[in-house]
Each structure stands twice: as structure tokens, then as C-alpha cells.
Structure 1
Amino acid sequence: MQDPNADTEWNDILRRKGILPPKEKPQDEEEEEAEILKLQSVVKTYEDMTLEELEDNEDEFGEEDERAIELYRQQRMAQWQATQLKNKFGEVLEISGQDYVQEITKAGKDLWVILHLYKQGIPLCTLINNHLTVLARKFKDVKFVKSISTTCIPNYPDKNLPTIFVYLDGEIRAQFIGPLVFGGMNLTQDELEWKIAESGAIKTDLEENPRKQIQDQLMTSIRTSIPTKKDSDSEDD
């Protein structure tokens, strides 16, 4: 008879279908898991204490307490590192053409980069830079970059400004080129956020396209300003 605990493809299929019971864990693995659970239960008693408070009371702890506290320290450190990684940026970085490869192409794996090509003296470029400053603080896990267009790309035509390129892993995933794409000086911060979010670069908390709300309000205003047939008949009388 075949050993039901053997690591075979057939046994795995039988386990998934419930024909065989789950594979028995070695005694040492079970003991290790039990020890971890026990330590975690002890850790919970220290969750409301700061690391400084733990150190002040260190003389009162036994061996089990010390192991639990060390586990707690490791968990807190891992949480801190994860937070630091997620909140890595937070501002718009100004770059030149020489910085392009390092800051964008080699920015990092699984990292979204938003590049705004602009020129001073173009009002819409200034507006977008202001919006991006706010969005960079909101989405600190995304790298926001700006560059004067001809500094980054020689002879880049002004008619294409503003331009936003969206990168992932150094490759362009979306592009927004020219003033018509942005809707002119009426562009709001929410509209720009929604537009970038559609590329997948940021996770917006907006529930629907802000531009659609404006369009719906405009259509409602137009409908209420158009005389109805009944109103026209009354005027004729």
C-alpha cells in the first residue's frame, strides 16, 4: 500500500479531493508552530508598550518573555521597514536628461514612475506641476518626476506640452500628450488623479471620473435652460 504521507503528485491530487487526509506534519514542525503561537500570545501583552518601556522593564522578564519581546521587536522592525518602503518618495523630483536612465529606466523593479515634461511660461504645465506636487504627497509609493522638456529630450516640440509619461520597470505604460488631452486650464487635481489611475500607476479612492460629474452637471443645466413644449405653448397664447 502506498504511503499516504509520501510526497507524490498522486497523493497531492487525492488530498485536494478529500480522499486522503492532510499530510501529517513532522513532530519538530508541530512543536515549532506551537512554540511560535505561544510566543505570539505572549507578544500581545506587550503590543501597547513602546520599545523604551520594554527596555525599562527588562529586568522583570523571564526567558520566555525575552524570546517573545525579541519576536515583537522583529515584527515591529518588519512593519517599520514595510512602511518606509511604501512611503519612499512623497515629492516631485526635478531631473535633467543625464538623470533619465538612472531615475527612470533603472528606477527599480515593480516601481511606477510618473514623468512630466514641461516648460516654464506655459500655464497648463504650471497647473499640472502644482497638482503633481499634491499627488506625490498622497501616493508616496510612486515616483513622481518632472523635467524641462528640451532638457530631457532635445528639440521636443512645445505643441506637445504638457506631456506625461507613465513608466513601469523602465517601460512606458501610458502617455498623455498635448493640452487637449488634459482638457485645458479647467483640469482639476481629481481629474488628473483619475487619468493617472487609469494607467494603473496609482490606486485612487475616487469612485468615478470627476470629469463625468462635471459633464452630467452641464447637461442638467442645459436641459433646465431649454424651454419645454408646454412653456412654448403658453408663450404663444
Structure 2
Amino acid sequence: MQDPNADTEWNDILRKKGILPPKEKTQDQVDEEALEQQILLQQESVVKTYESMTLDELNENEDDFSEEDEAAIEMYRQKRLAEWKATQIKNCFGEVVEISGCDYIKEVNKAGEGIWVVLHLYKQGVPLCTLINQHLTELARKFPQTKFLKSISTTCIPNYPDRNLPTIFVYYEGEMKAQYIGPLVFGGMNLKVEELEWRLSESGAVKSDLEENPKKQIEDKLMSSIRSTLPTTRKDSDSEDEN
């Protein structure tokens, strides 16, 4: 019978599948991991000391650093570089891009990991479509981490009915998360950019700083205005007289 503690490829496979228990670590391995953890904690402590400095300030004071400081600073530089690259990847859009049907799979279904896509199907000459394209242009600049696309409806989906315009599809990692179809959904030409932003934030496509639905504020003001113009009923008058 094969030794379960032996360093073999077969035993590694069995451990990965949970058939064999994890191999016990030798004392040397335990000591080595403890030392690595201690060094890492020391480096993180030094990094925190210099986190308030800019990279230029770090370079200016580089001659005064010990070897431990230099190792920690290099780790910090790599951390900042990784964060910067991640930010650049996320903020790589910033505009509404026109696509055709042949671009659909690449731009939508294969947009990439962690990418939200907002696709507007429209037609020239439809006023609400034009308004939404204007709003999306503004929102694309505000939320550059989201991919905003537009496409003439019948170019993207053959025979797509005009009565369904405007249409907005929201995708995440190629999977549809929300759809807004037809003029009634958007409320007509009174649609404000903040209202569209709120709707997209509800789907998860953008991270809005709006605290509540702007349309609700308008509706509340409208109802308040209507109530103030209504004639006072007899019951209301009697209530006021009693007071």
C-alpha cells in the first residue's frame, strides 16, 4: 500500500479531492511560515508609516531608509501600482459607443468579468430615444466603470418593433439583469437624467450617490400642489371650526 504521506502526484490529487487529509507540516515548515508571517507584519507596519507620503516624497527620502524600509516601500509601490491598474481597468469607458448586430456578442455577452453593460436600442426621429441618448452620454461620463452602448434597434435585432422603443437592456458579465421597454416605462419627454440614473442604480449598473428616487420628490410636490388647490369640504370646515 502506498504511503499517504509520500510526496507523490497521486497523493496530491487525493488531497485536493479530500480523500486524503492534508499532509502534516514539519516543524521546519511551521517555523518558516511563522517567520514569513512575522516579516510580512513588519513590512505592513512600515508601509503604514509611509502611506501618507507621495511617491515623490518616498524617492526624496530613500537614502535614509534601512533595508527593511526599502523592502516595505517596494511592497507599497507594488500595491499602489496594482490599485492604479485596477482603477484604470474599471474606468476605461466614459462614453456611449455605437454598435451593430455583429458587435453584440463581443461587446455585450463577452464584455468581461465584473463589467456592467447598459445597451440602448433606439431609432432616429424618435424624440424620447434622442433624449435618452443625451442622458446616457452624461451618465457615461459620470460612471466610466460602466460600459454604455447604443444601437439602432433593427440593426441590432432584426424586425424589432418600433412600439418597444426606447428599450434599455442592462447586463452584468454577459447576463441580462434588467430591461426597460417602451415609452410608458420612461415616463415620456419629462424624463430627467437623475431619474434615469436612479433606475440604472436600482438594477446595479451604476453606483449612484442619489439618496432617493428623484421622481418621488416631483410626485410628492405635485400631490401637495394639487391638495392645496382643492376646495375645502364641509367636513374639513367643521373640523377647523371645532379647533
How far is 1:57 from its partner? 4.3
Q: Which of 113, 116, 119 does residue 120 from structure 2 map onto?
A: 116
- Structure 2: 5+ residue stretches without partners: 1-28, 238-243
Name which of 210, 214, 218 aligns with 2:222.
218
What is the CA distance between 1:201 and its match in structure 2?
Answer: 2.1
| Partner of residue 40 from structure 1, selected from 29, 38, 44 | 44
TM score, norm. by length of structure 2: 0.78
Pairing 1:1-237 to 2, within 5 Å after superposition: 26-229=30-233
State the Cα distance separating 1:40 from its structure 2 match.
Answer: 2.2
Query: What secondary structure, in the 3-state scheme, does the structure 1 residue paired with 2:94 have?
Result: coil
Tell me the C-alpha RMSD between the 2 structures: 2.3
- 2:137 aligned counterpart, secondary structure: helix
Distance 1:126 1:230, change over 3 A: same
CA distance in structure 1 between the partners assigned to 2:220 and 2:57 by the alignment:
57
Q: TM-score, length-normalised on structure 1? A: 0.80
Q: Give 3-state SS (helix, strand or coil) of 1:147's partner.
A: strand
Q: Distance in 2 between matches of 1:231 and 1:180?
A: 38
Instruction: Using the TM superposition, give the Cα deviation of residue 184 of structure 1 relative to its aligned residue in structure 2, in angstroms.
Output: 0.3
Distance 2:60 2:212 in 1: 51
For the residues of structure 2 that align with 1:148 and 1:217, how far apart are their CA atoms? 37
> In the alignment, residue 217 of structure 2 is paired with which amino acid?
Q
Matched residue type, 1:227: P
Unaligned runs of 5+ in 1: 1-24
What is the distance in 2 between the residues matched to 1:65 and 1:96? 54
Q: In structure 2, what is the Cα distance between the partners aligned to 1:227 and 1:59?
A: 82
Residues 80-123 of structure 1, C-alpha deviation per residue, up to 9 Å, x if partnerless?
12212321222111111111111011111332211001112211
User: For residues 38 and 172 of structure 1, what CA distance do their matches in structure 2 show?
Assistant: 46
Residue 27 of structure 1 aligns to a residue whose secondary structure is helix
Cα distance, 1:60 vs structure 2: 4.0
Aligned residues: 210
- Range 120-129 or range 181-190, more displaced: 120-129
Whole-angstrom CA distance in 1 between matches of 2:85 and 2:236: 70
- Counterparts of 2:129 and 2:64, CA distance in 1: 62
Q: Percent identity?
A: 67
Shift of 1:231: 10
Say if 1:26 and 1:218 are closer, same or farther in 2 by CA, change over 3 A.
Answer: same
- Supply the AA of the counterpart residue of 1:43: V
